[in-house]
Structure 1
Amino acid sequence: MKLLPDSIRTRTILVLLIGLTVSHLASMVVYSTDREQALATANEQRQADRLAVLAQVIDTTTESLRPEVAEAISGQTLHIVWDRKGAVPDSHQEDERRAVIAASLRPHFGVLDDSRLHVFVISPPGPAASPLSSTLHLLHHAPIDQRLQVSLELKDGSWIHFHLSVAETAGTWSRQALVSTLVMLLGTLVIAVWATRWITAPLASFAHAAERLGMDVSAQPLAEDGPQEVRAAARAFNQMQRRIRSFVEDRLQMLAAVSHDLRTPITRLRLRTEQLPIETEQQDKMLRDLDEMEQMVSSSMAFAKDEATDEPSQPFDLAALIGSICDDLTDAGLDADFDWSGRLVYRGRPLAMKRLFSNLIENAVRYGQCARVRAVSLPGRIKVVVEDQGPGIPEDQLEAVFKPFYRLESSRNKRTGGLGLGLSNVRTIARAHGGDVRLANRPEGGLSAVVSLPSNSEERQES
């Protein structure tokens, strides 16, 4: 199966070419065989009539002139010998040809039995034909050096012998047949390419629509046109997209509503805790828990707001954006460096991209002591690598850290471990742009975060 083409379009073209070629060749063989049989029958009848006329001429000629007449009417393909005694070689007779010739001779010589008419083929002596040469003869109908001998007893008892070449019909695989096959293949290929492109165009549209849906649930719906089956599939796809968009919007609204409603009871609890008559250690713990809860609620509302924001895509300098993040951290006394010179124009959502790289670079500086950022431009892809020199992440938690509210630290201290929404936002933004984020521990120590983004038509790199 690995030898088969990978695309439906190529497979369809291959099936059409093979099917039509086999059908064309088979029809040519059937047509050629029928034509050859008709030509052979007509040729045999013509030869039989010719022999009958010549035999009648010689039979009515005086005996002394018969040898001269026979010599005079002999040619390249026909040689006539008149023999008074009529010695006939002992050979297997050609019954079918004998019947045709006997029918043509009957008006002139009456009914001829086997003693008066002999018809057989004389093959020249030579090496026996090999199976390969016999097969080639059957396929190409190549001429064979054979002669047909017809021996007839005349009315006076003498014999006349006709030696004529066996006519071969035109071969099936002639030049015209090959040209016809090539023209058929070329015409089939042109029509197949056009037809498969027309047929598979809806599949390509579905693929692009599915890719857009994976990046943006609010993307434009698929056009509901084309054949009936395509329209039905497009309607089902658009309905699925509307349901997904409704599902996501409902969950975001629910998250925002719950987070908003939690602010009031948290505020009341804070006021009641602060109004306790005596400050105790438990009161401080309660206030810290309330601060963390409020921070979680604020982060959840910010997360829902960011997801609900429909920021338009536009071209921007991705290198300048990352460089500004690193410069701001460097101005704050932190170790952040971006290894890239020139422009890296990318089409996307600038604010979302800034949140993505700010989160990754700040995490590298906060937990890995430094941030070493570099960009790699590949055919069709852009990769941005953020590396640090920290302790890394356990291998079994490299994927778990992308879950919302998942933290490696168990202290639940927002000043050390955060709230666990940063990496979740990072991956969400990257996948909304058709890319992804992967984390890996470096062999020399530290963590490496690789952001892979698809390039687009408006992307230009200068380095």
Structure 2
Amino acid sequence: MHPSSLFGRLVLVLLIGLLLGQLLSIILLFKNRDQLLSKTQEQCLAQRMIEIVQMLESFAPNRRAQIIAILNTRRLRVLLSKATLPPAECVASNSSSFAPFLTQMHQHLGNERILCITKINVSPTYSFMVNIGLQTPLHPPFIAEVQLKDGNWVSFEHVHLAQENIATPWRLLISLAVLLITVLSLSLLAVRWLTRPLAILADAAEHLGRDIHHSPLQENGPTEVRQAAHAFNTMQTRLSRYLEDRARILIAVSHDLKTPITRLRLRVEQLDVQPLRDSFLKDLDEMQTMTTATLDFMRGLENTESVQPLDIRALLESLQADYEDMGLSVTLEGDTPPPYPARPQSLKRCLVNLIDNAHKYGQRVTVTLKNQSEQLQIIVADEGPGIPEAALETVFEPFYRLETSRSRATGGTGLGLSIARNITRAHGGDIILRNRLNGGLEAIVSLPNSAC
């Protein structure tokens, strides 16, 4: 599984790239170092053999056996012999891999000198560490025979005793760990610095959905970030101007309609025909109600009220007392949440619309408060007939009403739920409707437990 955030993915890519780059650089470094060490070892080995041959030739044959014991080492053993392979077979046994070695010895001992080198079939403990360059591959084991000037022969046996490590593993691990921690720390700071503008932009977009008049983003940082912030601020300005123009037009139209409606009412009241006059007055009352509701709806979109701590339970208790004065029953249940940052008048209008709606169609109303860790829920439940499942979302559309269960005869313009949802969403929450199992409808207001 890969990280879901951009920060995590960038860190993962940087970490994998750093590990691969470090491993490849170590392999290349040790490979080059091994080649140099192998060449140096070959030159030192040939030079020692040349010096031994020259030293033996400087002593009498009867004294050479005494010197041999001193010349032996753990990796190079020296033996004296009197007979060896014929020259033809000796040349044939020389491997091409020893060509540089033979060339160096001929340069110092002379080309007429008979040299015979045979590779020993010994299986050294080569491992994966040797193959990738973390361990030094020694010169291949061999037996070399050199003819002295007096015709005698000296044999050199070069063997492997153990592999040599360039660097102990714990030092490599510590070096790699220090490098990883350093680069990873810098990478985390760099990635956080680069991704922080995206988080700020996302937060600004979230606040834009709650408050179109939210303060604009600061246009600083890299070029791409400044361009994104400028585009976001431009979009916010255009949206704000569009909503203000639309609200201004609708408010002006709704307000201007009051004057002709009033004139029509005065003229209708002068009619002598009672049935016709009552019909006209009923239509004018409905137009007046729709105009007033439209003005309330547009005011609910403005969000000009400031945010302040609000005791929601105290607000509901005051509403409960008001409804009891009107002879309407409202039961209050649930928790007592701490003061919530809200727009008091807007939230009161939202709750009044929901409780009024419940009283119109459900008689008895119960309001339940649930203070949860992530959200505050206000549930307004009634005992009415409920509404069809397919219309649970449609009823939030402006001027939409269900003709079957909630007709125009009951009053209302179809804006109450729309106003309530707009207010709730302006607080960062939402409203959903749900039919109760035992009958009735409940409106669930969910507000986030964070500042607006």
User: TM-score, normalized by length of structure 2?
Assistant: 0.91
Instruction: Tell me the distance in 2 between the aligned counterparts of 1:389 and 1:156.
Output: 125
Partner of 2:400: 406
Within the candidate set 9, 12, 22, 1:24 is matched to 22
Partner of 1:110: 110
Partner of 1:248: 243
Alignment check: 8 A CA contact 2:300 2:423 kept: no
- Residue 288 (structure 1) shift: 1.0
Size of the alignment, in residue pairs? 447
| Runs (5+) with no aligned partner, structure 2 | none
Give deviations 1:184-209, integer Å, cap 9, x for gaps: 21112101110011101111111111
Paired AA for residue 57 in structure 2: D
| Runs (5+) with no aligned partner, structure 1 | 459-463
Percent same amino acid among aligned pairs?
Answer: 38
Alignment check: 8 A CA contact 1:381 1:454 kept: yes
- Residue 365 (structure 1) shift: 2.8
Partner of 1:48: 46
1:95 equivalenced with 2:90 (yes/no): no
Within the candidate set 315, 322, 326, 1:328 is matched to 322
Instruction: Tell me the distance in 1 between the aligned counterparts of 2:405 and 2:374.
Output: 43
- Residue 452 (structure 1) shift: 1.4
Within the candidate set 127, 131, 144, 1:138 is matched to 131
Give deviations 1:212-265, integer Å, cap 9, x for gaps: 111011111111111122112211111111111111111111111111111111
Superposed counterparts of 1:168-179, under 5 Å: 168=163, 170-171=165-166, 174-179=169-174
Within the candidate set 283, 295, 312, 2:289 is matched to 295
Alignment check: 8 A CA contact 1:98 1:118 kept: no
Cα distance 1:274–1:413, how it changes in 2: closer, same or farther (>3 A)?
A: farther
- Residue 395 (structure 1) shift: 1.5
Alignment check: 8 A CA contact 2:364 2:382 kept: yes
Give deviations 1:95-128, integer Å, cap 9, x for gaps: 3335324413532x31157xx21223324479xx
Moved more, 405-414 or 386-395: 405-414
Within the candidate set 265, 269, 272, 1:274 is matched to 269
Moved more, 399-408 or 297-306: 297-306
Instruction: Tell me the distance in 2 between the aligned counterparts of 1:290 and 1:125.
Output: 109
- Residue 444 (structure 1) shift: 2.6
Equivalent position SS for 1:155 = coil
Partner of 2:418: 424
Cα distance 1:156–1:411, how it changes in 2: closer, same or farther (>3 A)?
A: closer
Within the candidate set 257, 265, 275, 2:252 is matched to 257
Equivalent position SS for 2:215 = coil
Within the candidate set 393, 397, 403, 2:391 is matched to 397
Alignment check: 8 A CA contact 2:2 2:9 kept: yes
Partner of 2:159: 165
Cα distance 1:379–1:142, how it changes in 2: closer, same or farther (>3 A)?
A: farther
Equivalent position SS for 1:65 = helix
Give deviations 1:139-173, integer Å, cap 9, x for gaps: 34377897432221111221111123348553578
1:314 equivalenced with 2:308 (yes/no): yes
Instruction: Tell me the distance in 1 between the aligned counterparts of 2:99 and 2:285.
Output: 117
Partner of 1:121: 119
Partner of 2:350: 356
Instruction: Tell me the distance in 2 between the aligned counterparts of 1:142 and 1:41.
Output: 12
Cα distance 1:314–1:120, how it changes in 2: closer, same or farther (>3 A)?
A: farther
Paired AA for residue 219 in structure 2: E
Equivalent position SS for 2:61 = coil
Partner of 1:235: 230
- Residue 87 (structure 1) shift: 6.0
Instruction: Tell me the distance in 1 between the aligned counterparts of 2:120 and 2:245.
Output: 96
Cα distance 1:265–1:53, how it changes in 2: closer, same or farther (>3 A)?
A: same
RMSD: 2.7
Instruction: Tell me the distance in 2 between the aligned counterparts of 1:347 and 1:321.
Output: 13
Paired AA for residue 279 in structure 2: K
Alignment check: 8 A CA contact 1:28 1:172 kept: no
Partner of 2:445: 451
User: TM-score, normalized by length of structure 1?
Assistant: 0.89
Alignment check: 8 A CA contact 1:408 1:417 kept: no
Equivalent position SS for 2:84 = coil
Instruction: Tell me the distance in 1 between the aligned counterparts of 2:415 and 2:198.
Output: 37
Within the candidate set 47, 69, 72, 1:71 is matched to 69
Partner of 1:461: none
Instruction: Tell me the distance in 2 between the aligned counterparts of 1:144 and 1:338.
Output: 89
Instruction: Tell me the distance in 1 between the aligned counterparts of 2:15 and 2:123.
Output: 46
Alignment check: 8 A CA contact 2:41 2:139 kept: no
Instruction: Tell me the distance in 2 between the aligned counterparts of 1:159 and 1:81.
Output: 9
Moved more, 211-220 or 226-235: 226-235
- Residue 415 (structure 1) shift: 6.2
Partner of 1:343: 337
Cα distance 1:432–1:401, how it changes in 2: closer, same or farther (>3 A)?
A: same
Partner of 2:202: 207
Alignment check: 8 A CA contact 1:318 1:345 kept: yes
Partner of 2:280: 286
Partner of 2:12: 14
